[in-house]
A and B are shown apart, each in its own frame.
Chain A
Amino acid sequence: EIVMTQSPATLSVSPGERATLSCRASQSVSSNLAWYQQKPGQAPRLLIYGASTRATGIPARFSGSGSGTEFTLTISSLQSEDFAVYYCQQYNNWPPAGYTFGQGTKLEIK
């Protein structure tokens, strides 16, 4: 099973500043990497798929990069609604099985 490791566990950033979240895979997942945002009491929401493609309706301040084992989610100028928990997920198997999530990064207001 591929292990996804996110860092840091908690990130404190001021509104308007840039946030950089990292995700590392224990083996290559090519570009089959998604990022999700989850706010308290809500279901996760897809932000990024294919490592760098924004999902429908996601603001341009969210960007993803990386391939292989190292990935980054960048939020260019934090808005109040961006403070949440972020998960990466690899989906590099066919048939689909054993897809795994990272443990999450909590983005909090500094």
Chain B
Amino acid sequence: EVQLVQSGAEVKKPGESLKISCKGSGYSFTSYWIGWVRQMPGKGLEWMGIIYPGDSDTRYSPSFQGQVTISADKSISTAYLQWSSLKASDTAMYYCARGESSSGWYYYFDYWGQGTLVTVSS
């Protein structure tokens, strides 16, 4: 059974750093892209970026380039999303999701993690 299990909720202060995780199981972690999606309170879904754990090829949405860093440790089947200096506007639910493709070129998300709630408040 494919599972993506995310780390628990975080409460941080502005300016602090943070790294959240997403552990994949039940499939070959290095053979599928893993993406991150932001959902701000009461709002819609925003595609942030994606990583291929097999070679760490990473791509970002223009809106998130330079704002976050996506990485992966294939030895423990875990992807990460990190911030170096959080802002109140980073308060949101963050989902990881597995990228699947029927063509080998274009990727939709077929399995999702349960989400990690990040709250940034002074």
- A residues touching B (Cβ–Cβ < 8 Å)? 1, 32, 34, 36, 38, 43-46, 49-50, 53, 55, 87, 89, 91-104
Contacts and interface: CB of A to CB of B under 8 A. Distances in A.
A43 B114 contact: yes
- Chain B contact residues, majority secondary structure: strand
Residue of B33, B97, B105 with most partner-chain A CB within 10 A = B105
Contact of B59 (A32, A89, A97): A97
Contacts, number: 79
A55 B60 contact: no
Contacts of B108: 32, 34, 46, 49, 89, 91
Contacts of B24: none
A96 B33 contact: yes
A44 B45 contact: yes
Interface of B: 33, 35, 37, 44-47, 49-50, 57, 59-62, 95, 97, 99-100, 102, 105-115
Contacts of A94: 105-106
29 contacts: A32-B108, A34-B109, A36-B45, A43-B112, A43-B113, A44-B37, A44-B97, A44-B109, A46-B110, A49-B100, A49-B108, A49-B110, A53-B102, A87-B45, A89-B45, A89-B108, A91-B107, A94-B105, A96-B106, A97-B59, A97-B60, A97-B61, A98-B47, A99-B47, A100-B47, A101-B44, A102-B44, A103-B44, A104-B45
